[in-house]
Amino acid sequence: MSSSDDDDGLVVLTRLGDLTTAQLVCGRLEADGIAAYLPDEHMATQTWHLHWAIGGIRVQVRKADLERAREILAHPGSDIAPVAESAMEVSTNATASDAAEGQDDDGTIGPGDRAAFRALRVALVSLWLMGLIHPYSLWLALHALGRPDVTAWGRRRAWIALFISLAGCAWLGLLVQRFARLAG
């Protein structure tokens, strides 16, 4: 990525339910000259069963291209628009619940939501590491829930991370107690 791309910044255009649809959306945008990125592509291919845990597969574009990208996907003559709309259940549900709470979603992720998303990712990774970093993910989740700039989307992820981390910390505590009894 060039330095001009870094200045523009990336924003989330949409979240999709499967990798194939996300790749088709990226191809459609790139055919019209808009650089599109799938930051969750590796997770979606390697741990395909967990892509719903992160809220779907993100399609990102430069902030300067956001409006044009929305127009391309909303254009009625577009072949990809009906596919993208049918696969966007996660995005539609999140937008409806945010609208009910009076929050508008402009496709950007603020610092509070980023903190909540990070807490969820660390909690999920800790499941594979046998709980070694659950205390850290617990701290991240509590920190994210305490932020004033976290949206409903971020709060949901922070609560999920909190419950996963609490269960992991309890399991880690039981293991430590059991090993202490065996050693003593």
Which one, of 181, 176, 142, lies nearest residue 159 by Cα?
Answer: 142
CA dist., res. 147 & res. 95, Å (int): 21
Phi/psi for 20 (5° steps) reads -60, -45
C-beta of residue 21 within 8 angstroms of C-beta of residue 90:
no
Query: What confidence score (pLDDT) does residue 98 get?
Result: 46
The 10s digit of each residue's pLDDT in 56-66 is 889 999 999 99
pLDDT of residue 38: 92
Q: Which residues pair with 37 in a beta bridge?
A: 60
Residue ranges for the chain with pLDDT beneath 50: 1-7, 76, 80-102
pLDDT value, residue 93: 46
CA atoms within 13 A on the CB side of 19: 13
| The pLDDT of residue 106 | 55
> Which amino acid, 110?
G
pTM as predicted: 0.43
SS3 state at 128: helix
